[in-house]
């Protein structure tokens, strides 16, 4: 029997096929299925090299059909400066989980960027005050843009503070995103001052030193800590984590590579002190926010099931629209 082949999709194909609205819906479904115990825990493998590292994230989800996806991502923070290359590069292999057939190979950059923003949006839907209008974005690179686009889908935002180690980058972010989203976006230098005036604060940097301190945060704030995706990266002071409600995307993964890792290392938290995983909240098994004064922190390290769900959306839309190129690897 001749193989129907494997669909190849470039980044611009993925970008055309995947809307942020669809990505948020897919990621929310992935968290819900995991929280309901209908999806096995995904796997992750990390390999560090000089100047960066690689990680492989893999998982299975039963959606319209049963899908397996494995993502191989490279993360090299100095790539722009050294080689004029993106920080994150990689591919996703999507397979039929019932027979192993490779359905698609697609660029991972757009999926990683969108699904990371989408996870914050899902967390905000369940953990932020629903009348939140002011947000601080700390880290005004590509991911900061996706974070803001995603939050604008689920919250009634009206004002944004943009903070970055590069004032020029913050100003460019403010100019571009105010035009794109029709919001008041202001570049600021003082993260603490901006965060204290915000309902939501997102950190999406490559920092290896904590940036957001307890005295930077007002009662009722929702914080999404997005940047720490290896043990060396850190964005939140451990005391900020220890003194407030923490929801992890995956507790074990956050304890190994997220801001939770640093709070545990500092002796201020244990894994048992984490209130919930996001999937448990989405599935209704654990509470989310319980008061308007509560500070809630989402420790986001990236769950492979987000990639599976998002890649499935892209593949299904590509097959409906005839997008991409088909290659028979077995020929």
Give pLDDT tens digits along the chain (331 positions).
Answer: 456 899 999 999 999 999 999 999 999 999 999 999 999 999 989 898 999 889 899 999 999 999 999 999 998 889 988 999 988 899 999 999 999 999 999 999 999 999 999 999 999 999 999 999 999 999 999 999 999 999 999 999 999 999 999 999 999 999 999 999 999 999 999 999 999 999 999 999 999 999 999 999 999 999 999 999 889 999 999 999 999 999 999 999 999 999 999 999 999 999 999 999 999 999 999 999 999 999 999 999 999 999 999 999 999 999 999 999 999 987 7
Crossing angle of helices 142-154 and 109-127, rounded to 10°: 40
**Three-state SS for 177?**
helix
- In this structure, which CATH number among 3.40.50.720, 1.10.10.10, 3.40.30.10, 3.30.70.1450 belongs to the domain 127-302? 3.40.50.720
Structure tokens, 191: 């993260």
Q: Answer for the pair 161, 191: CB distance below 8 angstroms, yes or no.
A: no
Residue 177 is predicted with a pLDDT of: 98
Crossing angle of helices 20-35 and 109-127, rounded to 10°: 70
Nearest one of 307, 282, 295 to 122, comparing CA atoms: 282
Integer Cα distance of 309 and 63 in angstroms: 8
Q: How many CB atoms lie within 10 A of CB 184?
A: 13
pTM score, two decimals? 0.94
Residue 2 is predicted with a pLDDT of: 57
First-last CA distance in the chain: 12
| Class of the domain covering 6-111+305-327 | alpha beta
Integer Cα distance of 133 and 109 in angstroms: 29
Give me the residues paired with residue 95 across strands. Answer: 68, 102
Residue 26 is predicted with a pLDDT of: 98
Domain ranges in the chain are 6-111+305-327, 127-302
Residues with a catalytic annotation lie at 71
Instruction: Strands of the chain (E only): list them.
Output: 6-9, 43-49, 52-62, 66-75, 88-96, 102-107, 134-138, 159-163, 184-188, 200-203, 222-225, 245-248, 276-277, 296-299, 325-327
Residue 235 is predicted with a pLDDT of: 98
């Amino acid at each position: 029997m001749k193989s129907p082949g494997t669909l190849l999709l470039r980044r611009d194909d993925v970008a055309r096929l995947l809307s942020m609205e669809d990505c948020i819906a897919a990621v929310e479904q992935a968290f819900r299925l995991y929280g309901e115990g209908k999806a096995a825990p995904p796997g992750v493998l990390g390999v560090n090299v000089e100047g960066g590292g690689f990680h492989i994230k893999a998982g299975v989800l039963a959606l319209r059909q049963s899908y397996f996806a494995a993502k191989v991502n490279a993360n090299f923070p100095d790539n722009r400066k050294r080689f004029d290359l993106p920080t994150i590069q990689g591919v996703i292999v999507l397979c039929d989980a019932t027979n192993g057939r490779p359905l698609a190979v697609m660029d991972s950059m757009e999926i990683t960027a969108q699904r990371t923003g989408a996870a914050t949006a899902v967390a905000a839907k369940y953990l932020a005050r629903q009348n939140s209008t002011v947000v601080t974005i700390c880290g005004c690179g590509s991911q900061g843009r996706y974070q803001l686009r995603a939050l604008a889908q689920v919250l009634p935002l009206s004002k944004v503070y943009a903070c970055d180690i590069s004032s020029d980058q913050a100003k460019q972010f403010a100019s571009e995103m105010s035009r794109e989203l029709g919001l008041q976006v202001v570049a600021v230098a003082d993260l603490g001052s901006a965060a204290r005036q915000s309902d939501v604060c997102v950190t999406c940097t490559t920092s290896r030193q904590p940036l957001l301190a307890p005295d930077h945060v007002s009662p009722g704030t929702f914080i999404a800590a997005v940047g720490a995706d290896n043990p060396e990266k850190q964005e939140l002071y451990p005391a900020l984590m220890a003194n407030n409600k923490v929801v992890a995307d995956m507790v074990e993964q956050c304890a190994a590579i997220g801001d939770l890792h640093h709070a545990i290392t500092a002796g201020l938290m244990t894994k048992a002190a984490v209130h919930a995983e996001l999937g448990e909240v989405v599935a209704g098994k654990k509470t989310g926010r319980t008061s308007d004064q509560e500070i809630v922190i989402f420790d986001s390290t990236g769950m492979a099931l987000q990639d599976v769900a998002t890649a499935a959306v892209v593949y299904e839309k590509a097959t409906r629209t005839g997008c991409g190129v088909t290659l028979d690897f077995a020929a």
